[in-house]
Structure 1
Amino acid sequence: MSEPDYPVGSVATTFRIIEAVNDLGEAGITDLSEQTGISNSSVHKHLDTLQSLGYVRKDGTSYSLSMRFLGIGNQVRSQRELVQAAKPAVDSLSSTAGAVTNLMVVEHGYGVYAYRATSGTTNMNSYLPVVGDRVHLHATAGGKAILSQMDWNEITAIIDANGLPKMTDKTIDSRDVLRRELRSIQDRGLAFERGEHLPSVQCVAAPITTADGPVGSVSVSGSIDQMSGKKLEEDLAGLVVSTTNEIELELFRD
């Protein structure tokens, strides 16, 4: 049987070696070469790279997978658990609010839309990023809600890596201004977005937190005409907080 034609063959080779190490538990280069059919020299180069990246441990002439894979696996599992725990509450919030509701998680210092529920009367989907898209945390209500629960050193590391790009003329692009904004969000437990990511969109969001810190946020989005004043700052804000509380209780129950 011929090998599949992978777009990036070296990546496929790396994962064949990773899977072989996992199957054998601990193995030397020759054993892995025989297991995979990859030459000794190629196995050695891939293992050296994986060791440099912290994904493989070397003990004498034997290699094994590092605990870094456990960290990645736990993150994926916790995010899947979060989505499953949050879906009923997010769906209910969308129905009650008559608006788009989003569940956001963090990956690599960006906010990622993990789930979305839409009301049958809304037309906001054409404006918003699709599920799976990533956005800058500082420019969205959901992202700011998550940042508000982080240590400033963590936030600084995210800014150093991803910057504070200005998405609209209302986007916060100053560290000092962002820090003051996050303190205010932390005090009230709510984040607002008023044309900071998309000029015509306003949002309210609240963080989802566990004993390990923030794991995501829930937001309600709508046009400026749909969401302003008391509706945004009191009615929808209260619904969002109730929803995140419900999700947190479900997570603790699990």
Structure 2
Amino acid sequence: MPESDYPVGSVATTVRIIEALNEFGEAGITDLSEQTGVSNSSVHKHLDTLQSLGYVRKDGTSYSLSLRFLGIGNEVRSQREVVQAAKPAVDSLSSTAGAVTNLMLVEHGYGVYAYRATGGASNMNSYLPVVGDRVHLHATAGGKAILSQMEWDEITEIIETNGLPKLTDKTIDSRDALRRELRSIQDRGLAFERGEHLPSVQCVAAPITTTDGPVGSISVSGSIDQMSGKKLEEDLAGLVVSTTNEIELELFRD
């Protein structure tokens, strides 16, 4: 397909060059030009850009893909493994609790809802973030559960990049308050959300951790009327912890 047929033609050209390099293993500009149908000068510009970004290595007149692609591939594979391991457990928890149950992963310092089961509580979907949405970690139970397993230096980097926006009057918006909250979460192994992301929603979450650190979290969400007191802090909390333990064992077996 000609470059002009793509919304961003230059991106399509870059991808063709990357795919050709992957096929060759190592190649020069002329070989890549012949393989992709892109002019020598254009191939050279794309390779220079990829090299400056760390995605391509140059040895003399030959180019090859760098190990940076390996890191990206491992990250994608890891996320897929977590989703596949978590799905049955999330479905089971949602059915038992009769409530919306979420799997959250981390991407670029934000929480991403990677999977959800409604447990018959379909009315909640009208105002909860949808699967694929990004949310601030500090304002959600799932996000705080993940943050509680990170080093403070890493958390500071996230704060400096994404900030601590105050989404409701109950959202934590200071570093000191967040640090105290995360210490409390570490002690009890659970994170609670009481109107911090959405005023009418409460939530309980626990982190999913492996030897590599936190990989996500499981949370159960509901309205303030549905979730409060013993139901939130004991009944659902216990189910959430049991579910994360089950997922961690499944990941360990894999």
CA shift at 1:60, angstroms?
A: 1.4
**Kept after mapping to 2: 8 A contact 1:98/1:122:** no
Q: Could you tell me how far apart the structure 2 residues matched to 1:238 and 1:34 are?
A: 61
Q: Give the TM-score normalised by the residue count of structure 1.
A: 0.98
**Kept after mapping to 2: 8 A contact 1:208/1:215:** yes
SS at match of 1:129: coil
Q: Could you tell me how far apart the structure 1 residues matched to 2:208 and 2:153 are?
A: 20
- Residue deviations 1:135-164, cap 9 Å, x none? 011110000000000011111111111111
Residue segments in structure 2 that go unaligned for 5+ positions in a row: none
CA shift at 1:31, angstroms?
A: 1.2
Distance 1:107 1:2, change over 3 A: closer
CA shift at 1:4, angstroms?
A: 7.0
SS at match of 1:244: helix
- Residue deviations 1:199-240, cap 9 Å, x none? 100000000000000000000000000011111011100000
**Kept after mapping to 1: 8 A contact 2:164/2:173:** yes
Distance 1:137 1:121, change over 3 A: closer
SS at match of 1:204: strand
Q: What is the aligned-residue RMSD (CA, Å)?
A: 1.1
Q: Could you tell me how far apart the structure 1 residues matched to 2:66 and 2:109 are?
A: 23
Aligned residues: 254
Q: Could you tell me how far apart the structure 1 residues matched to 2:2 and 2:13 are?
A: 15
Residue 42 of structure 1 aligns with which residue?
42
CA shift at 1:114, angstroms?
A: 0.4
SS at match of 1:4: helix
Q: Could you tell me how far apart the structure 1 residues matched to 2:32 and 2:59 are?
A: 15
CA shift at 1:124, angstroms?
A: 0.6
Tell me which moved more, 239-248 or 155-164.
Answer: 155-164
Q: How does 1:71-150 map onto structure 2 within 5 Å?
A: 71-150=71-150
CA shift at 1:34, angstroms?
A: 1.2
Q: Could you tell me how far apart the structure 2 residues matched to 1:45 and 1:252 are?
A: 44
**Kept after mapping to 2: 8 A contact 1:192/1:203:** yes
Residue segments in structure 1 that go unaligned for 5+ positions in a row: none
Q: Kindly, what percent of the aligned residue pairs are identical? A: 91
- Residue deviations 1:10-54, cap 9 Å, x none? 110110010011011011111111111111111111111111111
**Kept after mapping to 1: 8 A contact 2:139/2:196:** yes
Q: Could you tell me how far apart the structure 2 residues matched to 1:101 and 1:65 are?
A: 40
TM superposition outliers: structure 1 runs of 4+ over 2 Å: 1-4
- Residue deviations 1:153-208, cap 9 Å, x none? 11111111111111111111101111111111111110000001001000000000
**Kept after mapping to 1: 8 A contact 2:200/2:223:** yes
SS at match of 2:216: strand
**Kept after mapping to 2: 8 A contact 1:101/1:118:** yes
**Kept after mapping to 1: 8 A contact 2:3/2:9:** no
SS at match of 2:116: strand
Q: Could you tell me how far apart the structure 2 residues matched to 1:213 and 1:115 are?
A: 20
Q: Could you tell me how far apart the structure 2 residues matched to 1:28 and 1:101 are?
A: 51
Residue 208 of structure 1 aligns with which residue?
208
**Kept after mapping to 1: 8 A contact 2:99/2:221:** yes
**Kept after mapping to 1: 8 A contact 2:102/2:113:** yes
CA shift at 1:120, angstroms?
A: 1.5
CA shift at 1:2, angstroms?
A: 5.5
CA shift at 1:59, angstroms?
A: 1.2
**Kept after mapping to 1: 8 A contact 2:3/2:12:** no
